[in-house]
Amino acid sequence: MGGVGSFAAEAIARSAIGTLTLVDHDEVCVTNVNRQLHAFTDTVGQKKV
């Protein structure tokens, strides 16, 4: 769920594709906040997916 992946996942979900399975074993870090839809300062340290 990198910078491009988060926007792609949102676009696919909005297109009513049905079931969407997201896999990412990483955690949100402070450098993600400016480029990922799910990253906020209060989500730093949480699982991305």
pLDDT(15) > 90: yes
Residue at 19 is within a domain: yes
Residue at 25 is within a domain: yes
SS3 of residue 12 by DSSP:
helix
Instruction: Provide the number of structural domains found in the chain.
Output: 1
What is the pLDDT, as a whole number, of residue 42? 93
pLDDT(1) > 80: no
What is the pLDDT, as a whole number, of residue 34? 86
Domain span at residue 27? 3-43
Residue at 49 is within a domain: no
Sign of the Cα torsion 29, 31, 37, 41 reads positive
What is the pLDDT, as a whole number, of residue 3? 78
Residue at 48 is within a domain: no
- Predicted TM-score (pTM) of the model is 0.64
Show the tokens assigned to 16.
């009513």
Per-residue pLDDT band for 33 (boundaries 50, 70, 90) equals confident
Per-residue pLDDT tens over the stretch 4-14: 888 898 899 99
Residue at 32 is within a domain: yes
Residue at 7 is within a domain: yes
Residue at 24 is within a domain: yes
Residue at 15 is within a domain: yes
